[in-house]
Amino acid sequence: SQTIHQWPATLVQPVGSPLSLECTVEGTSNPNLYWYRQAAGRGLQLLFYSVGIGQISSEVPQNLSASRPQDRQFILSSKKLLLSDSGFYLCAWSLFLGLNTEAFFGQGTRLTVV
Amino acid sequence: SQQGEEDPQALSIQEGENATMNCSYKTSINNLQWYRQNSGRGLVHLILIRSNEREKHSGRLRVTLDTSKKSSSLLITASRAADTASYFCATGNSGGSNYKLTFGKGTLLTVNP
C-alpha cells in the first residue's frame, strides 16, 4: 500500500535561518507531488507541484523553493525564513495518470518562525 | 488562487442532526472532492464526484454537484461528535499533463454531544 512520510512534525526556526522540509512517498511510482501551506484558520494554498523528477511548478511568488531530486522525494526549502513563512505545511501526492484522482496527505509540519 | 469557497465558514449542530455544507467554484473542473481535516492533522479524502455526475453517496455522506451553478453540497446525516472537523472542497483541474487540486477555505463543523 502507498504511504507518505513528512517530517519534522513541528519546527521552530529563527528569522533568517534556512529551511528544509522533506516528504517521501512509498508504494507508488511517478506520483504527482504537492506542497500546500495552511495559515491559521485558512484554507490550503498550493505552493508547488511536480509531475516528475526535476519538474517544479510554482503557484505563488514567495520566499520558498521546491526540489524533486528523486521520483518519490519532494523537498521544500528556504535560504532565509521570514516571519510570514509560519504556517502548517502539507505534502501530498496523487496518481500521475488520470483526471479523477484523489490526493493523499502527509500529517503536516507546523513551522513557527520566531 | 482559491478556487472553491465553502459556506458556511462554521457550523455547530447537535448530535443526530444533519449537517449541510456548500461549495462554489469559478472555473470548469474535471471533478470536485471533499476532504476532512481533524485539528492539526493532514487531510483525509472523503468522496469524489466527477463533472458528469450529479449525486453520489458514501455511507452517511451525500454529495451533489451542479455544474451549471458551479456549486456542490456535502450532507452528513445523523451526525456524531466524531464528525467534528474542518471540511474542505477541492476542485480537480487539468491543463495538459498537469493535474492539480485547488482547495477552498473550509467549513469548521462542531457536533455537540
B41 contacts on A by Cβ (under 8 Å): 107-108
Task: Return the residue matching grid coordinates 483525509.
Answer: B44
Low-confidence residues in chain B, pLDDT < 70: 1-4, 95-98
- Rounded to the nearest angstrom, the minimum Cα separation between A81 and chain B is 22
State the Cα–Cα distance between residues A108 and A87, nearest whole angstrom. 10
B103 contacts on A by Cβ (under 8 Å): 36, 43-44, 46
How many CA atoms, within 13 angstroms, populate the side-chain half-sphere of residue A99?
12
How many residues does this entry show for chain B? Answer: 113
Q: Which of B50, B2, B51 is nearest to B26 (CA)?
A: B2
The predicted structure's pLDDT at residue B95: 63
Interchain contact, A102 vs B33, CB within 8 Å: yes
The predicted structure's pLDDT at residue B1: 43
Q: What percent of chain A has pLDDT over 70?
A: 96
Question: A4: pLDDT confidence band, cut at 50, 70 and 90?
Answer: very high
Q: Which residue of A has its CA nearest to B103?
A: A44
The predicted structure's pLDDT at residue B66: 96
Is residue A36 less than 8 Å (CB to CB) from chain B? yes
The predicted structure's pLDDT at residue A53: 94
**Mutation site, A2, A36, A37, A46, interface B, largest B CB count within 10 A:** A46
pLDDT tens-digit map of A53-92: 999 988 877 789 999 999 999 999 999 999 999 999 999 9
pLDDT tens-digit map of A97-111: 566 788 999 999 999
Mean residue pLDDT of chain A comes to: 91
pLDDT tens-digit map of B12-39: 999 999 999 999 999 888 889 999 999 8
